[in-house]
Structure 1
């Protein structure tokens, strides 16, 4: 099995970088990634120093998938996400939209937690279940070079908790080879990523990358054993929610034989949502697969 170690840290989803790994469709690989703080926080005494590294969410890649061409899509199944150094970290620093109610005198709040036995040790008295996910995964667009801060039709910084082991992430291919990047692993994260930091960790992710020839998609999709999800980003979040729902309806129409208006009606009653980083308005809309049996 090929392994891609941490190397140059990329803060953009760029087609201009030399591929660091070339794989065949269907290949399973291990990808190491640095944490969202670029490795600056390892102890509670450490501080995120933006004068040294102002950018966040470094990515490992790009990965070239043989045969991938514009108009195809990638199906990336996450097999496992393991902590590289047995710990994760988070911090408080800027309450942002909450300042209206909480004030602005927010301490830095560096907080490092050990990970073992399937638990994140928040304190001597409190543990959080280890539920890893990738905050960032995406392909390189053919126009422009998005950073690792927003999400978009290429994927990117979605911060959706369902980007996790056991699920498959579908991403559009815009350029030959696909140019897949990933990083920003979290040991756990709540909906909304309130402080703009999950429980960030350097990680090794085992993934299988398959190629869907001629399967053009309009943005990221996620499939779990029990659910289908579409993702959209934008502010106000109401618009992103509407876009994600529309994309889910069109997916049901194209691949599952649903009349779009019948699907619209059904989703009104059975759909749910998952919220990524609230400040950039990322939303995944979801339907359980058990509802797909009756497409009338």
Structure 2
């Protein structure tokens, strides 16, 4: 209530608790590399797993620790209609593993009321989400808290924080455009909030930036760019 363009909706992810069953699958011709190795000769395949005691039971010999996340956190876009497989400046289906317990997702509000939407819970997801339905898809309970803040003048895309990092993200095709946009947003954040000159921000990020592609299968690809907060304490 009271959310308006010119503000940021801050979504505090307090706790994600997945259900005890998960699913993953590969359709045989989708994902990060359709046709890259020729015909897959796999065909549609899927796997149902038990989630027990904080672990994914892959088989009777191997289990994997869960890392629950929300693949989709967004507000209503300002124009047009988008199905929820898309992501953009409004957030959406960006599939970033850092959207987990303790994260704060800062999303520029596009329309009055914001219209927050969340979903696409994964118990675990590898970088790239390479099979399309490639995370351990599951349901569960997400405890969230939201607040409104004024939007920084230099902010266009969502930002993410946790106790250790500040993060920017962007979605685009080709993937290098997503990286360049996320990098641009990080440069602007360092200038606007941490008192960097542009030339110094470039040289600083050349040493400390962490960046990777988190999904390579949606209509636009997601990059996250990260800087450790401990590297920024001297700027305050």
| TM value normalised by structure 2 | 0.92
Q: For residues 91-123 of structure 1, what are the alpha-carbon distances to aligned partners after superposition, in whole Å with 9 as ceiling and x for unaligned?
A: 111344242215232232221111111101111
Residue in structure 2 matching 1:139, options 75, 85, 88: 75
Is 1:222 the counterpart of 2:157? The answer is no
Kindly state the Cα deviation for residue 215 of structure 1 after the two structures are TM-superposed. Answer: 4.2
Secondary structure of 1:75's match?
A: strand
The match for 1:72 is 7
Deviations, residues 116-168 of structure 1 (Å, cap 9, x unaligned): 11101111111111100011110001211221112111111101111111111
Aligned to 2:225: 285
Aligned to 2:181, the other structure's residue is in SS state: helix
Q: What residue number does 2:26 align with?
A: 92
2:17 is aligned, of 54, 76, 82, to: 82
Counterpart in 1 of 2:48?
Answer: 112
Instruction: Decide which of 96, 107, 117 is 1:160's aligned counterpart.
Output: 96
Q: Cα 1:167–1:113, aligned 2, differ >3 Å: closer, same or farther?
A: same
Within 1, Cα distance between the matches of 2:152 and 2:190? 15
CA pair 295-215 structure 1, distance change in 2 beyond 3 A = closer
> 8 Å contact 2:108–2:151 — kept in the other structure?
no
Residue 103 and residue 214 in structure 1: after superposition, are their counterparts in 2 closer, same or farther (change >3 A)? closer
Shift of 1:260: 2.1
Number of aligned pairs? 230
On the 8 A contact 2:10/2:105 being kept in 1, the answer is yes
Paired position in structure 1 for 2:108: 172
1: CA distance between counterparts of 2:191 and 2:48?
A: 46
Q: Contact (CA 8 Å) 1:272, 1:285: kept in 2 or not?
A: yes
**d(CA) in 2 for partners of 1:80, 1:185:** 12
Contact 1:228/1:286 (8 A) holds in 2: yes
- TM-fit CA distance, 1:277: 1.4
- Aligned to 1:240, which of 151, 174, 178? 178
Instruction: Compute the TM-score of the two structures, normalised by the length of structure 1.
Output: 0.74
1:60-81, Cα deviation, whole Å (9 max, x unpaired)? xxxxxx1211110011111111
Give me the whole-angstrom Cα distance separating, in 1, the residues matched to 2:66 and 2:127: 15
